[in-house]
Structure 1
Amino acid sequence: MPSAAERTRTLVQSTSSAVLLLPGLAGARAEHMTPEARVVAPDGEVFLLFPTDSPAVRAATHAKDDELPAVLEITDVAPVSVPHRIRGRARVSGWLTCEPGLAEHGGMMLRLEVGEAWVDDLWGAESVEPEDFARASVDPLVAHETELLQHLHTAHSDQVQGVCCALLGERAGKAYENGLLAVPLALDRFGLRVRLTGEHGFDARFDFPEPVRDITELRRAMHALFEAASH
């Protein structure tokens, strides 16, 4: 399974929604505290792009000693229609400073020096040390996961359901008798997670034989999974 640090860093660098929380700005509208872009530097610092007239930039500009405590809060929502769509949340807290000259005209890059992080997702809730966050790798499928899950759901729903029936056995059979549907919920380099929806629904995890590194290897792994279910 992916480590807590890897899961946190993947969420930070994903397209999941994010909002910056700052002291004294609790009443600010969420859209004004949402970065236009975010990226993690090799040393683990998080860079956030905001318009120069945003409340976040004003607060960072006027912070005493150039250190403003801040929390980046990320909410991960499943890209397919499924009950309980929030798949996870992550919080990265630290100190915020302005980095002039890194953004084009009209924008300001803010640097978040990570002090601690925390993730609560489909794998569980764990805290993350800054050093682990800095060393963690981003899941190679993160940029494609939304498109891949939507494609699996619309074009291969019968095969996904077949995998559940074949590999989960009696438990899946009883679920389908009660009208449950299998919806691909999450995809990472280690495997596929499916949610069987309904009154007595549950999640099932199907691991790949080995972690995949790119889309080509993912196609082979999914083909092997579908083949295993067909025998």
Structure 2
Amino acid sequence: MLVPSLVPLLLCFSAQLVSVSSSPVVVERAASTCSANDIAIVKRTAPADPVYFCQWWQQDVRTRSPFMEFTPTQVDTLCKCISPIATTGPKCKRKRRRSEIEERAADPNAGRSASSCSAEVSVQFTEPWRFCTFYTAYPRTTSPFKKYTASALTSLCKCAITKPSTTTSKKRKADYHVQEDFNDKYQEDKYFDQASNSAEAGNNQQQKADND
């Protein structure tokens, strides 16, 4: 059984432990263990603004990684090196849920090809497929890139990772076969026309010879 007089001391000691673990000195020491090569990879992969990206990353607990080279825990450590003090992101206002018709009408990437959208994402993050798969895995209310809102980036990413529909592929294949059949029929008709003309010319020559 604890002596009552020791309880305040234990509480004070626990508070000091929490304070030390979150102090800037501890964060700085953790940052000093980062590999310069790994930091360079993060900065190269998110070239637009790696500090802004890392500040966004540190706003939440991440269970997936957009980086091919790093796990979420490794990204946590590297982002502490790149941006030791995590800042609070913009507050998100709640909006009414828009209907599907409104969503489609407001989609700025409707009709664009996946390669075009992917190329646009790669300006912000050089592993677009990895990033967009990560970003669209959950509904997002914030964006790691200054240029895009969460809704705009979600739309762009969905466009970038959308595979061509099977219906379109089948239609193109069907159109190809129709054209192929048309070409075959054209060649066949042309052959019979030539054969018919040759036969008619032969008959005319024979008739002329008989008349002579």
TM norm. shorter chain > 0.5: no
TM-score under structure 1 normalisation? 0.24
Asked which structure has the greater CA Rg, the reply is 2
The structure, 1 or 2, with the larger RCO (C-alpha pairs under 8 Å, 6+ apart) is 2
Higher normalized helix content (fraction of residues) = 2
TM-score under structure 2 normalisation? 0.26
Higher normalized strand content (fraction of residues) = 1
